[in-house]
Amino acid sequence: MLLVNDKVISPDLLIVGAGPAGSAAAWHAAKLGMEALLVDQATFPRDKTCGDGLTPRAIHQLEAIGVDVTSHYQSRGLKLHGFGGSVEAPWPDSSFGNVGSAMPRTKLDNLLLEHALGMDGARFLGGVGARAVELDGAIRSVELSDGTRVLPKFVIVADGVRSTFGKQLGRTWHKGEVFGIAARSYCETPFSDEPWIHSHLELRDAENTIQPGYGWIFPLGDGRANVGCGALSTDNRPAKVNTKKLLHLYAQQQREAWHFGQPEGVASALLPMGGAVSGVAGPNWMLIGDAAACVNPLNGEGIDYGLETAAMAVGALDEGKDFTLLWPEMLRHEYGEAFLLARTLARALTYPQFLPLTGPLALRKPMGKIVMPAAARLMGNLVVEEDRDLVARVWRAASGASMRMRGSRVLWG
């Protein structure tokens, strides 16, 4: 790391944000022999509002960089409940593997950060935010909150959902597209080793009215479960739901079955999804993870995409390349079809009548046994290019059709 003087640093790569995306980027850059400076305005370990669930897709990425999370807890798949039905949907056999997990973010993000810092070439400044930027299309210098001036060759922006630094670069979130609102909590339970993650698609309030949201229980293997609920929304059809209130109601409804203690650490957040942001790259910078809205619109998972986009962005770093058009194009190539179709389906869920109409059909026998494992595979975006079965073919055809109908510019464009 070139230290010009004690207040000016000139690294190959500056990474803003040390969540899963940022730490993974630091690991990949150091692996390629680059000098990477990672900064985060928080001091670690830090919490992040999340369901803490890790799909096989995330496990695959974690294993690729040598991080083990499955030895303390493994999940086999998803159990979906509601509308008089209950269906088991095991993680499918795919090139990602068929094991999932869950780990509180305070622990996972710290583990990833320490793993990255174990590499020569990776350096971290905690409690230090990226503030002002000198920009002429390309980022020339970045001023940190401790007064340090960074003169980087490349910048990867992994500053999460709000992306305050990304906004200075022109990142815009399109709230006309579907986005998530969600709340999570931690509840003590004697069943924290239960090997299935659970989701309830039919939530009712005290008056027995169906609420526009769904609940989740993700066992953590440490005497607790992450219990939360979410809803999908757009600017035109805002979900009229108080997620924290709904969460308390849900935890109460599930208390007897899971022997839950009181919900602790209740927190809520918004989630931009499915590439519904623009301004994600410039000549020498790229946005990754949540900052680039790389979140699956059908289940809200984004840790896997944060890890994947980190590997993709670092892999693309090369002097002489201009990322302004290249990076959105790479994102569209990798996720475009799947995210656009998922966004279209998620939009249907913002109509209050949709779930009560389709839920009973999808979740009850005999249809449920066929429909829901396929739905769980699609929700987890666990269909890969090589898959040739009927579900994969139908998914690809529908994805291609939604791309043709809406055009690829609605993704990162």
Residues 109-148 binding ligand FAD (CB under 6 A) are 129-130
Site for ligand FAD in 356-395 (CB under 6 A): none
Based on the shown chain and the rule CB under 6 A, indicate whether residue 21 belongs to the binding site for ligand FAD: yes
Comparing CB distances to ligand FAD, the nearer of 307 and 372 is: 307
Bridge partners of 210, per DSSP, are 204
Cβ distance 383 to 104 under 8 Å? Answer: no
The pairing of strands 36-40 and 122-126 is parallel
| Residue ranges in 184-243 that form contacts with ligand FAD under rule CB under 6 A | 184, 228
* CA angle (324 as vertex; 323, 330 as ends), nearest 5: 60
Six token digits for residue 92: 């499918």
Of 202 and 290, nearer to ligand FAD (C-beta) is: 290
- Which of 12/40 has CB closer to ligand FAD? 40
Which residues neighbour 306 within 8 Å (Cβ) at sequence distance 6 or greater?
Answer: 19, 20, 21, 24, 158, 288, 289, 290, 294
Question: Is 56 an interacting residue with respect to ligand FAD (CB under 6 A)?
Answer: no
- 52 contacts ligand FAD (rule: CB under 6 A): yes
Nearer to ligand FAD among residue 160 and residue 336 (C-beta): 160
In this chain, which of 41, 189, 211, 350 binds ligand FAD, going by CB under 6 A?
A: 41
Write out the binding residues for ligand FAD, residues 150-179 only, by CB under 6 A: 158-161, 164-165
Q: Collapsing DSSP states into helix, strand and coil, what is residue 154?
A: strand
Q: How far is the CB of 63 from ligand FAD (least distance, A)?
A: 15
* Burial of residue 29 (number of CB atoms within 10 Å: 0-12, 13-18, 19+): buried
- Smallest CA-to-CA distance from 40 within 98, 149, 120, 124 is with 124
Return the number of the residue (85 or 228) whose C-beta is nearest ligand FAD: 228
Check whether the bond before 20 is cis (ω within 30° of 0): no
Chosen residue from 40, 177, 202, 337 binding ligand FAD by CB under 6 A: 40
Out of 34, 36, 38, 39, the only residue in the binding site for ligand FAD (CB under 6 A) is 39
Q: Select the residue interacting with ligand FAD from 28, 31, 48, 81 (CB under 6 A).
A: 48
Where on the phi/psi map is residue 401: left (φ > 0), alpha (ψ -120 to 50), or beta? Answer: alpha
Positions 276 through 305 that interact with ligand FAD (CB under 6 A)? 289-291, 295, 300-304
CA dist 180 and 124 (Å) reads: 31
Q: Which residues bind to ligand FAD, rule: CB under 6 A?
A: 16-22, 39-42, 48-53, 58, 129-130, 158-161, 164-165, 182, 184, 228, 269, 271, 289-291, 295, 300-304, 306
